[in-house]
């Protein structure tokens, strides 16, 4: 058994990038509001290292508000082509402004304009309203630089628990569980 869940994740993620037909970095993000009401949606992994797993969003979105009220999250990667899943749970913290700025600068121009134009998760009267806001942002910034909006940033999930699930015949799956401890990681198996 491996004793480094990050190395195992990197290995599985590299395989998924070669085999998944779409978005190997797609992950389900589960959050809960202050009252414990859950919500889940798909987001994209934009960075991972020994500090955790990073994604970006509008801080005023539903997920942003939920993470502000309850800074804990669950992530799920499901790589169907490999018949594997990875579940990650832990506390969430904001990435630094420098990290958010650096990632935002790598996004396509239209995506950066969309971040300015969108009031993510808020009611929208019609599609034309949003499209008009994108046009207005295009006019505002012209051919110049598009800085990161103040309400747009990223979060890092620092794993306390990482489970690696492998599909097996007759539903006799393999589940390897890593738990963060003061001394590093403990590892064990779970019944399928």
Q: What is the model's pLDDT at position 2? A: 60
Q: What is the model's pLDDT at position 5? A: 96
| pTM of structure | 0.93
* pLDDT per 10-residue tile (average), the chain, 192 residues: 85 95 95 96 96 96 96 97 97 98 97 95 94 96 96 97 95 94 93 94
- With H, G, I as helix, E, B as strand and everything else as coil, classify residue 43: strand
Q: Is 14 exposed, middle or buried (0-12, 13-18, 19+ CB in 10 A)?
A: exposed
Q: Domain ranges in the chain?
A: 5-190
Give the active site residues.
171
Arch. (CATH architecture) of 5-190: Roll (2.30)
Q: How many CA atoms lie within 13 A of 183 on its CB side?
A: 3
Q: What are phi and psi of 163, to 5 degrees?
A: -115, 130
114: closest CA among 156, 155, 146?
146
pLDDT in tens, 86-137: 999 999 999 999 999 999 999 999 999 999 999 999 999 999 999 999 999 9
């Amino acid at each position: 058994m491996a004793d480094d869940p990050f190395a195992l994740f990197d290995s599985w993620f590299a395989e998924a990038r070669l085999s998944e037909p779409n978005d190997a970095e797609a992950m389900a993000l589960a959050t809960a509001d202050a009252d414990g009401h859950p919500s889940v949606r798909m987001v994209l992994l934009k960075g991972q290292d020994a500090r955790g797993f990073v994604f970006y969003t509008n801080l005023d979105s539903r997920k942003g508000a939920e993470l502000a009220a309850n800074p804990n999250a669950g992530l799920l990667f499901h790589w169907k082509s490999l018949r594997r899943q990875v579940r990650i749970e832990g506390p969430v913290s904001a990435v630094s402004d420098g990290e958010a700025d650096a990632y935002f600068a790598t996004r396509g121009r239209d995506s950066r304009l969309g971040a300015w134009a969108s009031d993510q998760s808020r009611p929208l009267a019609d599609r034309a309203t949003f499209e008009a806001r994108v046009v207005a942002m295009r006019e505002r910034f012209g051919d110049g630089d598009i800085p990161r909006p103040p309400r747009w940033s990223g979060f890092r999930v620092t794993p306390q628990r990482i489970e690696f699930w492998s599909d097996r015949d007759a539903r006799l799956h393999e589940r390897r569980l890593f738990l963060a401890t003061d001394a590093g990681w403990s590892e064990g198996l779970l019944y399928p």
